[in-house]
Structure 1
Amino acid sequence: MLPTLPRLVFGESPMKNTSWRRPVATAAALLVVASGLAGCAGKPHGSANATDDQQWPTAAPAATKDVDSITWNLSGGEPATLDPVKVFNGSDLQVAANLCESLLTMTESGDVSPALASSIDQPSPTEYVFHLRDGVAFSDGSLMTAEDVVFSLNRIRDPESGSYWGYFGENVKSVVATDPHTVTVQMLKPDAIFYRMLATPLGEVIQKKYAEAAGASYGTPTGGVMCTGPYSLEKWTPGDSIVLKRNEHWWNIDKQPLQTKAAKFTFLTDNSTMTSALLNGDLDGTMDIDSTSISQLQNAKNGELLAGPSTRQFVLIPTKLGTGSDSPLADPKIRQALAKSIDYKGLLSSVWSGLSKPLRTIVPPGAWGYSGGIYQDGYNKFTDPERDIEGAKKLLAEAGNTHPKIVMAVPSDFQQYVTVGESIQSNAKDAGFDIELRPLAGAESSALFSDEKAREKVDVFVSDFYSDIADPTELYMQIGMPKGPSNFGNYDNPQAASLLEQARATSDDNKRAELTVEAQDIMTKDLVWIPVAYPLQSVFLNSRLGGATAGFLSSLYTPWLAKIGGR
């Protein structure tokens, strides 16, 4: 599902519920694609990770000493929940990642490795055996058991939970504690994506006893959470802040000293107020920075701006691609014309201030966690999108609709979305489009991701989305398969769906990549989603602190706060 990221990156969780879906935000490392930062505007502030080819530093110096507390702002606003079953937005995930841990964790290369499971066996393509790490305790000091793991996995994949993450467990047949330290998962059929998704909330472990006692209040300001992560929830004051404190029972504290003793998360969404607070030192850091603040923060005397690759994509999502649709965008020629009418270079400059790159396909290079050569070859089949007004007019004429009327929804809670919508409205008018912008805020905006009836009122909506893992198969199957949770337009291409089903079942990385690239070819030409830009991950860190990294996925799914401390 940081910014309202399928998920949007910012905002409330819709479906299961979700939004910054999933808008995005995070602060630990994913993978640093060498080409990902080349050519971006801006000057480095002396980070050890800055190079001649990378004009933005990707990481701050390591932390060297303890600090009593830090104040960190969630640019996407207050979390909707901290329950792994319900988390979806950037703010939810950025906080929860420091509280709850998964069976697997993400590495800096985008791969997965053992976490709460110390090792994993796969006796057959449809069986996983998880050997649990000894001595793992919850934040109340009680030991994690196989029963807690079984409870957590079954809870999140229960259809009644309505969890976004449950989709990735649909091929699970059973989850059984085979002994006090071992959990066996039997699959209905091979599923390579399920395994990798266990590094996300799908694989997070919560305490069964606490969750059952909390009931529906689990993950709320009154119910709290009970997990194994490096921090525990000290206080959640709705509308004001969330405070985390160091978990002295954390199993990995000897190898990763927690140099931040406490962290206060604030919920400022007004960009000017947040920027002023960062510059005057009232805030120590934030992620997913609005382009209007880039220049000020880049030249800040009290901190540094970091930027790195992400799995995000800024896109236009048509909502009515199914048979019998009355939307002009159901016609592929009209979708192509809309794509050709956009001034991409202007948007990259005015909206993202250099912290974004052109995007040729739905899934960006930052999501190539394996078989990079195969994905690069697939990406090279397409060129960077460029404006072509005459080409757009020709396509409209061929479609027999030279002045198509389109309703475009724009999340109005964040100015960036409004700016993009207004720019595309103006761009497309030159080609003959008549676009009505429909600003939607809060729950109305979130409903676009969870309610088909809400989508029936518009033809297309502006979104900042991202891949959950560094595997392109994952997002393409969400969009390209008939029952995919992010198939918001009822897209139905049997050939693409078949390729993605095969890819999902293929554990060999190169073969999965080849199948996915074939599906990518079809979906890119079909313009299921219209790629607009590939935003980089951005982080601002006060110079009194160290340890932050401008990655993306690891800021959503790994305990990034554990690396931050005094400099």
Structure 2
Amino acid sequence: MSNLRTPAGRRNVALVAGGVAALLALTGCTSDPAADEPASAEWELSTETPAPSGDIDSYSWVSYAEPYSLDYAYAFDYADNQVLANVCESLLRLNPDYSLSPGLAESFEQTSPTTWVYTLRDGVTFHDGTPLTAADAVASMSRHLDPAVGSSWFSVYQNVASIEQTGDLEVTVTTTIPDSQFNQGMGGSAGVIESAATLAEKGADYGNSTGLVNCTGPFELTEWKSGESVTLTRYDDYWDDELAAKSGEVKFVFMGDSTARVNALKSGDVDGGWMLPVDGIAQLQQTSGDVYFGLSTAVSSLIVSNLDGPLGDVRVRQALLMALDREGILDAAAKGFGEVTNALTTESVWGAASDATREEAFGGLADYPYDVEAAKQLVEEAGATGQKIVIKTAPIGNDFAVISQATVAAAQSIGLEAEIETVTPSAYTALFSDPSAREGVDLFYTVWYLSSPDPLEMYGVLRTGEFSNYGEWSNPEFDAIADEAVGIVDPDERAQKSAELQHIANEELPWLPLFTGPTTLFLGERITGVAPSINYLYYPWAATIGAR
């Protein structure tokens, strides 16, 4: 797939583009996926793996693709971030339970509704031995505001008025409006701090296989063989003793073929990997290694991209969701590894909410049970019988085939006409960035994950005029609640507003939620120690792995 750079709204595009690419890894194509027998998967979530017995000289890790870039401004995909998270660090740290804690900033404070002050740790060095300073932080963060850079994370900074050094180790960020989401984004790529001198020296080569990077993490990026592998070497002067790397070296091997990845893991040619091809999980469970299922923030959904057609009537959207056998789709597309959902967020991003607020968010949601006759009646009431919808898909993975075929069958069963348009993976990615690519398209599939521990990240996308509000859905009440929520500092109070937004989205269905699935992990017989969580995209997980 291609990664497209445009400065406006890139964060939300990034989340989807990353999700699309992930499907190359998560699924294995079959000749007739619709004919597969439903799987009865047995799995349970884990929060940890056994502690290592000690250090290990080296281990290898398989990735479904080579990183597009290791420049943090463009690192928005699984292949990029699973490497970069071990080399470069952010102001805040996104933990395995999806909570935020101090990272390179030892403390942070909101000193006014529009001011965030970050105090950096003293004694931190970059991999070339130079000390971390506030000037490095200012230079690193300011790149996201530079149109010439075209950062994938611009939307985190969209309300930023200034980024200033206010002390040797102090940075002050001023926003144009109260913006709770800015600080939430500092645990991901948007909060990464790089050496200002390296940024200036490397220029256009920064973050590629020639220029590499110079950061503060527990591993140093020492070699990038294009098309083959990336090698990380332990940085012995790393500042955080608790996360000092337990391995002297980690080698990431690129394997685009899902069968080859499974075989390499089974044989021990590589020691571990994230995002297991679902067709290979049962095979891997029979090896001397271990398969784990961990926290995820991703929801598989159908995006309604045309509200001028029959799906502009909410009754037709409701009918289509009711006509989709989502349990059957889960079995066929994901081999049963997951669960059907009626929300566009997972509970994992509601960690700062009280139990009562979380119950309010997920309790009482319409569940849209599988009921073709009732759905057909809704279509008739809407006067949409016989009208046509177009579903766009691509030959990316088994779930793409299953979901597109199931959607056509569901639409036809309730009196709609339906057609599948198949495009290349790169053309499919364009759906998320180019409005012209969505012309004449009513629905397309996504796996949308959140990169901060706040459900407002999801619902902010659906405000009127937002770049990633692909169907141009508009609800004034929703907009007003979302705008108010952005300015609320108290996490539970803000989550209460997000709960209201979740209910409106559940009723209006601008996107049709299908199912959620866990983060998958394989550890071979030589290694252990990493927490199975999607936070591996932003946390130095590879440092925790040692010998069994």
Taking structure 1 as the reference length, the TM-score comes to 0.88
Q: Does 1:239 align with 2:227?
A: yes
SS of the aligned residue for 1:227 comes to coil
Q: Which amino acid aligns with 1:564?
A: I
Distance in 1, matches of 2:149 and 2:20, equals: 19
Q: Does 1:427 align with 2:425?
A: no
Matches within 5 A, 1:99-248: 99-248=87-236
Give the structure 2 partner of residue 290 of structure 1: 277
Q: Which amino acid aligns with 2:293?
A: A
Q: Does 1:307 align with 2:293?
A: yes
Q: Does 1:472 align with 2:455?
A: yes
Distance in 2, matches of 1:486 and 1:99, equals: 30
**Alpha carbons of 1:404 and 1:291: their partners in 2 closer, same or farther (altered >3 Å)?**
farther
Distance in 2, matches of 1:264 and 1:415, equals: 29
Q: Does 1:80 align with 2:68?
A: yes
Give the structure 2 partner of residue 68 of structure 1: 57
**Alpha carbons of 1:468 and 1:56: their partners in 2 closer, same or farther (altered >3 Å)?**
closer
Following superposition, the deviation at residue 206 of structure 1 comes to 0.9
Moved more, 522-531 or 486-495: 486-495
SS of the aligned residue for 1:255 comes to helix
Q: Does 1:394 align with 2:383?
A: no
Query: Equivalent of 1:274, from 261, 265, 284?
Result: 261
Matches within 5 A, 1:465-544: 465-478=448-461, 480-544=462-526
Moved more, 531-540 or 101-110: 101-110
**Alpha carbons of 1:483 and 1:92: their partners in 2 closer, same or farther (altered >3 Å)?**
farther
Q: Which amino acid aligns with 1:522?
A: I
SS of the aligned residue for 1:335 comes to helix
Following superposition, the deviation at residue 483 of structure 1 comes to 3.8
Distance in 2, matches of 1:347 and 1:192, equals: 37
SS of the aligned residue for 2:42 comes to coil
Following superposition, the deviation at residue 71 of structure 1 comes to 1.7
SS of the aligned residue for 1:390 comes to helix
Give the structure 1 partner of residue 531 of structure 2: 549
Distance in 1, matches of 2:227 and 2:381, equals: 53
Q: Which amino acid aligns with 1:258?
A: A
**Alpha carbons of 1:387 and 1:450: their partners in 2 closer, same or farther (altered >3 Å)?**
same
Distance in 2, matches of 1:57 and 1:42, equals: 13
Give the structure 2 partner of residue 329 of structure 1: 311
Distance in 2, matches of 1:125 and 1:551, equals: 32
Moved more, 365-374 or 11-20: 11-20
Following superposition, the deviation at residue 504 of structure 1 comes to 0.8
**Alpha carbons of 1:106 and 1:389: their partners in 2 closer, same or farther (altered >3 Å)?**
same
SS of the aligned residue for 2:166 comes to strand
Following superposition, the deviation at residue 172 of structure 1 comes to 1.5
Q: Deviations over 1:138-160 (max 9, x none)?
A: 11111111111001111113344
Query: Equivalent of 1:264, from 251, 254, 257?
Result: 251
**Alpha carbons of 1:440 and 1:225: their partners in 2 closer, same or farther (altered >3 Å)?**
farther
Following superposition, the deviation at residue 13 of structure 1 comes to 5.3
SS of the aligned residue for 1:492 comes to coil
Distance in 2, matches of 1:415 and 1:269, equals: 15
Following superposition, the deviation at residue 457 of structure 1 comes to 4.1
SS of the aligned residue for 1:20 comes to helix
Distance in 2, matches of 1:284 and 1:13, equals: 32
**Alpha carbons of 1:169 and 1:183: their partners in 2 closer, same or farther (altered >3 Å)?**
same
Give the structure 1 partner of residue 42 of structure 2: 42
Distance in 2, matches of 1:217 and 1:446, equals: 25
Q: Which amino acid aligns with 1:70?
A: Y
Give the structure 2 partner of residue 29 of structure 1: none
SS of the aligned residue for 1:261 comes to strand
Distance in 1, matches of 2:484 and 2:93, equals: 25
Give the structure 2 partner of residue 320 of structure 1: 306
Retained in 1: the 8 A contact 2:213–2:221? Answer: yes
**Alpha carbons of 1:67 and 1:296: their partners in 2 closer, same or farther (altered >3 Å)?**
same
Following superposition, the deviation at residue 22 of structure 1 comes to 6.1
Retained in 2: the 8 A contact 1:128–1:186? Answer: yes
Distance in 2, matches of 1:248 and 1:485, equals: 43
SS of the aligned residue for 2:262 comes to helix
Q: Deviations over 1:6-60 (max 9, x none)?
A: xxxx8745654731246559xxxxxxxxxxxxxx9426xxxxxxxxxxx354432
Give the structure 1 partner of residue 547 of structure 2: 566
Following superposition, the deviation at residue 118 of structure 1 comes to 0.9
Structure 2 residues without counterparts, runs of 5 or longer: 24-39
Q: Which amino acid aligns with 1:216?
A: A
Distance in 2, matches of 1:168 and 1:448, equals: 22
Distance in 2, matches of 1:23 and 1:535, equals: 16
Structure 1 residues without counterparts, runs of 5 or longer: 1-9, 26-39, 44-54
Taking structure 2 as the reference length, the TM-score comes to 0.91
Q: Which amino acid aligns with 1:417?
A: F
Distance in 2, matches of 1:483 and 1:204, equals: 28
Matches within 5 A, 1:414-453: 414-453=397-436
Moved more, 375-384 or 111-120: 375-384
**Alpha carbons of 1:237 and 1:20: their partners in 2 closer, same or farther (altered >3 Å)?**
same
| Alignment RMSD (CA, Å) | 2.0
Following superposition, the deviation at residue 177 of structure 1 comes to 0.7
SS of the aligned residue for 1:354 comes to coil
